[in-house]
């Protein structure tokens, strides 16, 4: 049976969920946050060590300012209200991406990472202002600066995901089959699961079904 150490998720469909339910896109993001909490709890139950959530991409800056501000303030509120609970539940928070937000949010993010850095039960990686292509360029530039050989090991050691095993599973909700510049290097051998449901409707039952399906897959990694 395939072990699962790391699940990555593209949480797509909040905006459509908000509009479909005769509300606003922003209410969809709020509902999406409730799903985040449920899926974190379910990840712990399944003894999975890493969960990576795509919360804000480098391309998301192209959205209307009002929606960007809403998403970032939701994140700030989430950090303030949940970080003690994270810590109590032995969850480590790590940000993947460069912190280019307001001074207040940048410092909250750093504080949250520092506070939870020794926790061992689950590592939640929040991809924020994250784009896989920039991450690769950033790593290659660092190798050049450190005069290191360009090798797989050196390149991986200079990605945001240093020391994090590659995800075995990617889930993308929202009925769209694309990777949207997410963990392109790290997902070379990842099994992809595309779900019709919008992220706020995705639940623990759906998640567990995917984990069970994954366990049945024969993974060859190029062998036969």
Binders of ligand FPP among residues 184 to 213 (CB under 6 A) are 199
Nearer of residues 131 and 174 to ligand FPP, judged by Cβ: 174
- 12 classed as catalytic: yes
Q: Per the structure block, which two tokens stand in for 183?
A: 């963990």
Catalytic: 181? no
181: tokens are 């510049």
Query: Rounded to an integer, what distance in angstroms lies between the CA atom of residue 44 and that of residue 19?
Result: 31
Please tell me whether residue 101 binds ligand FPP under the rule CB under 6 A: no
* Binding of residue 29 to ligand FPP (CB under 6 A): yes
Taking residue 65's Cβ as centre, other Cβ atoms within 10 Å add up to: 8
At residue 125's C-alpha, the angle toward residues 182 and 10, to 5°, is 40
139: contact with ligand FPP by CB under 6 A: no
State yes or no: residue 15 binds ligand FPP (CB under 6 A): yes
Cβ–Cβ < 8 Å for 51, 43:
yes
Are the C-beta atoms of 57 and 183 separated by less than 8 Å? no
Q: Are strands 6-10 and 50-57 parallel, antiparallel or unpaired?
A: parallel
- Total residues in contact with ligand FPP, by rule CB under 6 A: 19
97 binding ligand FPP? (CB under 6 A): no
Contact stretch for ligand FPP (CB under 6 A) within 11-19, 113-121, 145-153, 182-190: 11-19
Two structure tokens written together for 121: 């039960």
Which residue has the closest beta carbon to ligand FPP?
Answer: 15
174 interacts with ligand FPP by CB under 6 A: yes
Of residues 46, 60, 119, 181, which has the active-site annotation?
60
Are the CB atoms for 8 and 170 separated by under 8 Å?
yes
The residue (of 24 and 46) whose beta carbon lies closer to ligand FPP is: 24
Active site residues: 12, 60
């Amino acid at each position: 049976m395939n072990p699962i150490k790391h699940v990555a998720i593209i949480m797509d469909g909040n905006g459509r969920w908000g509009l479909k339910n005769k509300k606003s896109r922003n209410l969809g993001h709020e509902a999406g946050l409730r799903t985040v909490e449920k899926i974190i709890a379910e990840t712990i139950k399944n003894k999975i060590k890493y969960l990576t959530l795509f919360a804000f991409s480098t391309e998301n800056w192209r959205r209307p300012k009002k929606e960007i501000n809403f998403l970032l303030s939701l994140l700030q509120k989430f950090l303030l209200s949940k970080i003690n609970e994270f810590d109590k539940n032995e969850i480590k928070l790590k940000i993947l991406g460069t912190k280019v937000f307001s001074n207040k949010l940048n410092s909250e993010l750093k504080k949250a990472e520092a506070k939870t850095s020794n926790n061992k039960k689950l590592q939640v990686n929040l991809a924020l202002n994250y784009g896989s292509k920039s991450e690769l360029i950033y790593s290659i530039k660092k190798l050049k600066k450190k005069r290191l050989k360009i090798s797989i090991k050196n390149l991986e050691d200079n990605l945001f995901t240093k020391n994090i095993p590659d995800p075995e599973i990617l889930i993308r909700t929202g009925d769209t089959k694309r990777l949207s510049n997410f963990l392109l290097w790290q997902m070379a051998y990842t099994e992809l699961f595309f779900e019709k449901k919008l992220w706020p409707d995705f639940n623990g039952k759906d998640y567990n079904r995917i984990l069970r399906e994954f366990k049945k897959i024969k993974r060859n990694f190029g062998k036969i």
